[in-house]
Amino acid sequence: MILPDEKDAIGLAVGLVNTWDVLHDPPEVMRDVDGLRVLLHWFELDAAAAAASERDLPPLRRVRHRLRQAFDAGSEDEAVRVLNALAREARAVPQLERERGAWSFRYGAGRRTLAQEVAGRASIALLGVIEEKGWDRFGLCAAAPCCCVYVDRSRNRSRRYCCELCADRAAQAALRRRRREASARRPLP
């Protein structure tokens, strides 16, 4: 599982969506609770990782699907509709709480399922990206056949790949293509 460098709620949203990766065999990276725990530990959600169980997988897969719809949306308005609905269903009302000695937002009051907590954090974070930077910061990896997503945080909006691995694969493929084309253009002796 390739996880984003950023360990914030935007990274959590991207990381969750990318737990379905066609470059893996099988594509389901979050096959069991151990895969889920790896994801949660990466984002320092250690208490959630410790409490995670097999019954959390199906609802989190549904959240993943809904988040993916925001990246696949045909327009910014459609992405906002998808994310607003997810936030509303997760009852994502922000509450400032101490977590690991520091302040952080928790979305929703009272006992919530892991899927509701993740849906709240992720949907609100992605809505924040749209509000501050625009939906055009949402991207799909350009290194076919990869279908992973990313949020472009670069200053010049130049990101095209979900990770360095895909950027390297695309660069190598382009180099091989240029070499083939150059050898095809050479005159025969």
Structure tokens at 109: 């009051």
| Confidence (pLDDT) at 110 | 61
Q: What's the rounded Cα separation, in Å, for the pair 94 and 109?
A: 8
| The overall pTM is greater than 0.75 | yes
Q: Could you tell me which residues come within 8 angstroms of residue 49 by beta carbon, excluding any fewer than 6 positions away?
A: 36, 37, 40, 41
**Maximum pairwise Cα distance, the chain:** 79
Amino acid letter, 135: W
List the CATH code of the domain at 9-134: 1.10.3300.10
Per-residue pLDDT of the chain (189 residues; tens, 9 = 90+): 677 888 899 999 999 999 999 888 899 999 999 999 999 999 999 989 999 999 999 999 999 999 999 999 999 999 999 999 999 999 888 777 787 788 877 776 567 899 999 999 999 999 999 999 999 999 999 998 999 999 999 999 999 999 999 999 999 988 888 888 888 777 766
Quote the tokens at residue 182.
């150059």
What is the model's pLDDT at position 108?
A: 65
What element of type H or E holds 107?
A: strand 102-107
Q: Which two tokens stand for residue 36?
A: 């889920």
